[in-house]
Amino acid sequence: MTMWNLTPLSNLNAREHLDIAFANGEVTEIEKKFLMNLYEQYKTTLGRPSFSMQAQGQRPELYNLIHDAYGLVQDNRKLKKLRAELKLLADYCPYCGFAPISDLDHHLQHNRFKLLSIFALNLIPCCSPCNTGKRRSPSDKPAEHQLHTYLESVANYDFLRATVTLHPGTGALEVVYLVEKCVGMSAELYLRLTNHLTEFDLHKKYAKQVNIHLSEHQFGMEMAYQNGEIMLRAYLNGTANAHAKNFGVNDWRTALFRGLALCDGFCNGGFKKALGQKS
Ligand SMILES: [Zn+2]
């Protein structure tokens, strides 16, 4: 699965990374133990932002030492292996689901949560636009807290929807992505998932991706429609199922094809005009 969740590194090697970064005693054994404790706490609290994750009260230099050690997680520096391993965890950015991996995002921002700067669980491979578009410090509102890509699985829910309509005047395709509140889903998770779509500007990004992706399916749709509306719907549903299998039920492409299959105007011939229009 590529969107929303990634499986974390099977061995985080957190202690080893601290030893590699601070091989000359710049960080004491006691401090390393303190950091390992903080990492454990991070796991237990699922990486949610909190005052205690800032871990104040240590000597001031420690915060900058760890913060600056992130520079070692660059190509050709001491922790380059960590970078390479993390980038292999995903085919596409887990935040948007379509762009290639280019960056590592600090789930808890490393200007705020300095002691988490080189902790593998706090490093999420993602695309550059998602990384740079993300807020600089976490929201005060829990309903706006970013979902943790490694620690908070949403695989038990089928929540992403794309509502497809055709513009009454021009016939152009109009796709609106939204999160459906599933049975058993908490109100807070619903709000956080909904917030994810706006936080990473996905409404705007998907408008373009939808056009690109559908143009690749134009011929398939035309062929299917030669045998009628029912066959076009079968093509759309079949493609949705294939996407669900490859990318997950909450992938933007799965939601798109499901939404298209539910749009009568699109299926009864409107698709030709809809795909011809670049709205
Ligand atoms: Zn992205």
**Which DSSP helix (H) or strand (E) runs through 163?**
strand 160-166
Tell me the per-residue pLDDT of 247-276, one tens digit each, with 9 for 90 and over.
999 999 999 999 999 999 999 999 999 988
The neighbouring-strand residues paired with 104 are: 125
**pLDDT digit string (tens) for 37-52?**
999 999 999 999 999 9
Tokens found for residue 12: 């985080």
CA–CA separation, 161 vs 5, rounded Å?
A: 17
Give residue 203 CA to ligand 1 midpoint distance, Å. 12
pLDDT of residue 75: 81
Confidence check: pLDDT of 277 > 70: no
State residue 264's pLDDT score.
97
131 CA from centroid of ligand 1 (Å): 7
- How remote is the CA of residue 160 from the centroid of ligand 1, in Å? 17
Local confidence band at 2 (pLDDT 50, 70, 90 cut-offs): confident
- Whole-number Å distance, alpha carbon 34 to ligand 1 midpoint, is 33
Q: How close is the Cα of 266 to the center of ligand 1, in Å? A: 29
CA distance 225 to 233: 9
Exposure string over 12-45, b if 16+ CB within 10 A, otherwise e: bebeebbebbbeeeebeeebeebbeebbeebeee
Q: Measured in angstroms, how far is the CA atom of residue 168 from the centroid of ligand 1? A: 32
Cα separation, 207 vs 211, in Å, equals 7
Q: Tell me, what's the pLDDT at 12?
A: 95
137-170 pLDDT, tens digit each: 999 999 999 999 999 999 999 999 999 999 999 9
Domains in the chain: boundaries: 14-144, 160-276
User: pTM of the full predicted structure?
Assistant: 0.94
Q: What's the CA-to-centroid distance between 207 and ligand 1, angstroms?
A: 14
**Ramachandran sector of residue 169 (left: φ over 0; alpha: ψ -120 to 50; beta: rest):** alpha
Q: Dihedral, CA atoms, 211, 213, 216, 219, nearest 10 degrees?
A: -60
Convert the pLDDT of each residue in 187-236 to its tens digit. 999 999 999 999 999 999 999 999 999 999 999 999 999 999 999 999 99
Q: What is the pLDDT of residues 69-128, one digit of tens each?
A: 999 998 889 999 999 999 999 999 999 999 999 999 999 999 999 999 999 999 999 999
CA atoms of 104 and 124, how far apart (whole Å):
5
- State in Å: Cα 4 to ligand 1 middle: 10
10 Cα–ligand 1 center, Å: 23
73 CA to middle of ligand 1, Å?
20
CA of 7 to the centre of ligand 1 (A): 17
Could you give the CA distance from residue 221 to residue 265 in angstroms, rounded to a whole number? 14
pLDDT value of position 276: 80
103 C-alpha to ligand 1 centroid (Å): 10
Residue 65 near residue 162, CB atoms below 8 Å: no
Could you tell me if 261 and 215 are in contact, meaning their C-beta atoms sit under 8 angstroms apart? Answer: no
**19 alpha carbon – ligand 1 mean position (Å):** 32
Could you give the CA distance from residue 36 to residue 243 in angstroms, rounded to a whole number?
Answer: 39
CA of 173 to the centre of ligand 1 (A): 23
Reference 46, options 190, 142, 158; nearest CA is 142
Instruction: Return the residue matching tokens 């401090």.
Output: 31
Mode of pairing for the β-strands spanning 103-106 and 173-179: unpaired
Distance 192 CA to ligand 1 centre (A): 17
Residues whose beta carbons lie less than 5 angstroms from ion ligand 1: 93, 95-96, 99, 127, 130
Question: What's the CA-to-centroid distance between 202 and ligand 1, angstroms?
Answer: 9
Residue 279 has pLDDT above 50, yes or no: no
**How far is the C-alpha of 98 from the C-alpha of 2, rounded, in Å?**
9
CB 177 within 8 A of CB 198: no
Residue 14 contacts residue 116 (beta carbons within 8 Å): no
What is the torsional sign of CA 245, 247, 248, 254? negative
Distance 101 CA to ligand 1 centre (A): 8
